[in-house]
């Protein structure tokens, strides 16, 4: 074990890839329990919910939040803390050691609610809302609630979003990073995400030396992943092209 005495950042947070799917998976059981409590469930659902409450909730929580199913434990912890939900973790022994778990039935299914911008009276749970909007909200919640000077890692911010949503999200992330002095680390397969940030450099919102771009490559001739840093000019252009994206354009057009 390595204990870090001093840290460059006040806090560190991660918005893991697959956030939307993890949210739906983790909310499924408490939603079933709530539905049964409201007597809106079918007899079969009530029977299953009762069994879960009586004998399996602790077991399911251990399985869902065990280290073997990462990154679900990390995501749930980040979401609850960012939402300001008070919860009491428990220590339980699993396999080779003790781990902290949050009882699943204490996690409400209404952490995120969707309200339509046009029909103001329409409110939906996350599982019925547009996936791109939900994923945007998850990222924004974690980043906006972080302390000043934090390290924020966002995996694949483009998930479930159309191009305009990706651009809007990157502008939002850049603004929050500047306001809160955040270190923002992104992993992405989207050229739009990259160029949205480069556009902020072009417009003067970001300095080029504040942006570091690392390109990961592997192919049949070089099966081991190599990392190349690509410089960013003051006008937001790159020292070298993004070859995979150029190849995609050639094949399509």
b (16+ CB within 10 A) / e for 201-225: bbeeebebeebebeeeeeeeeeeee
134 vs 90: CA distance, rounded Å: 29
- Residues 171 and 204 placed together within one structural domain of the fold: yes
In a domain, 183, yes or no: yes
| Verdict on whether the full-model pTM lies above 0.85 | no
Report yes or no: 62 and 102 within 8 Å, Cβ to Cβ: no
89-143 confidence digits (pLDDT tens): 655 555 555 555 555 444 444 556 777 777 778 887 777 888 898 899 889 989 9
Tokens of residue 4, six digits: 């870090």
Is pLDDT of 3 > 50? no
- State which residues form the domain around 188: 129-252
Work out the pLDDT band at 65, boundaries 50, 70, 90. Answer: low
* 113 occurs within a structural domain: no
162 and 83, same structural domain?
no
Asked whether residue 153 is assigned to any structural domain, the reply reads yes
Identify the pLDDT of residue 108: 47
Tens-place pLDDT, residues 66-88? 555 556 667 777 777 777 766 66
Question: What is the bridge-based pairing of β-strands 123-125 and 113-115?
Answer: antiparallel
Same domain, 33 and 100: yes
Rounded to whole angstroms, how far apart are CA atoms 135 and 189?
A: 16
Q: Is the pLDDT of residue 62 over 60?
A: no
89 lies in some domain: yes
Please indicate, yes or no, whether residues 69 and 148 belong to a single structural domain of this protein: no
């Amino acid at each position: 074990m390595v204990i870090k005495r001093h840290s460059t950042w006040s806090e560190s947070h991660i918005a893991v890839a697959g956030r939307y799917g993890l949210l739906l998976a983790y909310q499924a059981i408490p939603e079933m329990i709530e539905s049964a409590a409201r007597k809106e469930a079918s007899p079969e659902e009530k029977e299953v919910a009762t069994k879960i409450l009586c004998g399996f909730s602790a077991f399911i929580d251990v399985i869902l939040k065990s280290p073997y199913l990462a990154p679900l434990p990390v995501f749930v912890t980040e979401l609850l803390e960012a939402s300001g939900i008070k919860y009491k973790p428990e220590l339980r022994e699993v396999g080779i050691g003790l781990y902290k778990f949050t009882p699943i039935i204490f996690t409400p299914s209404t952490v995120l609610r969707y309200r339509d911008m046009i029909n103001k009276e329409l409110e939906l749970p996350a599982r019925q809302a547009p996936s791109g909007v939900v994923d945007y909200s998850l990222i924004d919640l974690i980043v906006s609630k972080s302390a000043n000077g934090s390290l924020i890692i966002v995996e694949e911010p483009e998930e479930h979003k159309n191009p305009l949503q990706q651009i809007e999200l990157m502008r939002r992330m850049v603004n929050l990073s500047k306001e809160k002095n955040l270190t923002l680390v992104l992993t992405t397969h989207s050229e739009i995400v990259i160029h949205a940030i480069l556009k902020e450099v072009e417009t003067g919102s970001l300095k080029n030396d504040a942006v570091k771009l690392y390109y990961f490559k592997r192919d049949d001739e070089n099966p081991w992943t190599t990392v190349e840093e690509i410089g960013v000019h003051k006008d937001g252009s790159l020292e070298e092209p993004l070859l995979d994206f150029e190849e995609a354009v050639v094949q399509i057009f």
